[in-house]
Amino acid sequence: MRKLVKDGVEWVKTYPTGDAAAPDANDHHTLCMTFEEMHAVVATAHNHRLKVTGHCRANQGIKNALRAGYDAIEHGTFMDAEALDLLLSRNVPCVPALYFELASIEHGPAYGMSQRVVDGHKETLEAGAESARMILRSGGRLGMGGDYGFAWNPHGDYARELTFFVNCVGLSPLEVIRCATRTGAEIMGRGDEIGTLTPGKLADILVVDGDVAANISILEDRHRFIAVMQGGIIKAGRLAMRPE
């Protein structure tokens, strides 16, 4: 942990539970850390002013993480009412990372993923979508983003995740946008710098041709990007291509 502090790390991620990708070792209903181990990680990290998150799918693992003092949880897949109450009482954000499950179901077999693993991802997708809806409808906080960098879920397709949360999970476009912007900034501890169009904050803005509140998939079409503004300077989009 001290080495991580020296390296400038801000967050520590642990794996309190297993995953559908490892059904013969630690599947998504399996605990991989004890509560005592999780509490020790939190105590040490917080002592060095680091934040802690964790891969939490199994219901008991979610509860253990919340009781141990985790600052965020990843997935929160198989969450019951008691786990939800713990999450809400501490206002801990959750990042469902569900688009990876869909990508695994649709493209995993082409990369050698077994039917057993695919079926596990289907279970994870269904339960995770229900947990995400439950969290947001109860006043909790969701963040966007997830497991990218795999052959079947490459970097650069992030806008598809936003469309997915509208079309497949049932959130509204504006709810998804708030999760991706304001809540994302809050999770990083930078809500006072970025995340909303507010005077004094960094001006990282995307201007598109169309009504995103009516059709969020517009964000997948880069030809409709009028301007990408970073720090008040237009870096990309149609306006960046105009001759001065």
* Residue 10: strand pairing partners: none
pLDDT tier, 3 (very low <50, low <70, confident <90, very high otherwise): confident
Question: Any idea what DSSP says for residue 155?
Answer: T
Residue among 102, 106, 98, 95 nearest 72 (CA): 95
Instruction: Tell me how far CA of residue 156 lies from CA of 108, 151, 222, 232, in angstroms.
Output: 18, 12, 12, 23
Domains of the chain by start residue, with CATH: 2-187 (3.20.20.140), 205-241 (no CATH)
Instruction: Tell whether the model's pLDDT for residue 65 goes beyond 70.
Output: yes
Rounded (5°) CA angle 75-76-78: 120
**By three-state DSSP, how is residue 205 classified?**
strand
Pairing assessment for the beta strands 225-230 and 205-208 based on DSSP bridges: antiparallel
What is the Cα–Cα distance from 166 to 217, expressed in whole angstroms? 9
187-230: pLDDT as tens digits? 999 999 999 999 988 878 999 999 999 999 999 999 999 999 98
pTM above 0.95, yes or no: no
Instruction: Tell whether the model's pLDDT for residue 117 goes beyond 90.
Output: yes
119-134: pLDDT as tens digits? 999 999 999 999 999 9
Instruction: Tell whether the model's pLDDT for residue 52 goes beyond 60.
Output: yes
Instruction: Tell whether the model's pLDDT for residue 244 goes beyond 70.
Output: no
Mean residue pLDDT of the chain comes to 94
